[in-house]
Structure 1
């Protein structure tokens, strides 16, 4: 019933518009044949664009009848006295039909291109999720074992050798246990993030939000975890809104900021800047550390890639960048590694998120 009512309203508009235009032309005393034909052609074009080919044909037929009835001699009849009027009417109808057909064809091509781009974007997002999903099982044996073995060994030494250990030895073993426990906690959190992205059926609950809100939450978290960090955020207040899952994007930015802090000399600034490019909101996280060699950048986002520094390096188990890329990719965004423009060394991690339409 609803579709019938909709179709009825569509065809009512397509039939009414040329009659309305013709009536207005008569009321204002403007009855030139050329002007009336141009306006009636415009009616056909508008209906073709908005409502489709079939309604446009209805508009073309109605326009032809209006042209004959109101603007050709003898007026207010369906006859024509002059040959040029008949030729004009036939030409008008032919052009109107062609316009309706070509408009429909163009609309279909635009729709097909949109669906193709959407499908390609979904494929890229699904690929990112698949990479994360595949890594879940392999990661269990790769990085869970190392901190567990260290913690077990240190705890066993404390129990079995406590009588012979000095206080400094005990403190060193306890520090080792605490350090590996924190590493394990961070690793488990990363696994949970991977799981969250790893199942394709998981819907990302997006909100329209400003990036400043996310960055404020990020700074509070960084200051709490790294009391000596020198984090500087330079973002204008006029940035456009984005449609994201705030917690996921915050986690991605946290992973990148954490890396920047760990690789920066103590006390040096880690700078976050924001600007816009056509269709994108750009967030740069810049540090003054040793930087990432250009030959390693292509593989920097691979799972378990510690950039050649090994499992014991403070940067962790090589999941942070992969997690960040997966989270940004799930939003249709991009994550790039650049060299900072104003520093001799360091790294610029560029996050690009689509701007909400």
Structure 2
């Protein structure tokens, strides 16, 4: 069911949501969080589709905020809020409200969104593109417990990572980090199978790919060894090599779908390591809304340290346990499992 509202208010939108739920026979609210998506008209369709697919796992009230560009003097002085309310089959497993803000009201988006948030439920804000440099200080970001960005969509992803590190606030995360969860899990599981000390590492992938940089930063931060960053033709991440005193450990994926895990003295293994779409990444991020300390630590390690002669040492004993690469509260072999870019 769709309800179109022109030149409306947040109060009228809330009433339309109640009216829509009653019309389809589901007056109860069974959603677990509010997902606020801040984007432009060009990317709105893809973002809404991904959020709708993710809501199958996390029933949500989705608020899509589109700030319309003022093209004429009349547009700049005319403030207006248009909304499209979707419930039932048109909104997946939750509710969707598309908000188009015109004129001065576009600068007060938080005032429009605040009355529409689900009471006593977490709030997540996602910027598919054009994220603010400091999401926690953004008026909409300040309403959320979790703030999701994507450095892969920025003009200079590597510089963007440095900006994210400087502005990091607990609750921040990035889909470039989410993309490397299967890689981190597989590498931690490989280290669980050997009793060796890692001496150096190499990450191979597309140049200027933030996920490749984050994986290299994570390895250097957690293992305390030099990590070399090598460019390749892609797609995304293509290989990780760990040099140990027992021989090399290699995770190689050339086609973006199937990888080969090679450990000295063991037969090669084929492992599924496909590139995931945005809906899968978003669903993963919504599974846990507490601060990601491992992401924060890797981010703050710094891109500039990757190709330095030596990396800061971290406490480690021989053998290096995989648990040192895992996040607190997760199984040792699978450290906090987190599109296409990887």
Of structures 1 and 2, the larger Rg is shown by 1
**In proportion to residue count, which structure has more helix?**
1
Common topology (TM > 0.5): no
Higher relative contact order (CA 8 A, sep 6+): 2
TM-score with structure 1 setting the length: 0.21
**In proportion to residue count, which structure has more strand?**
2
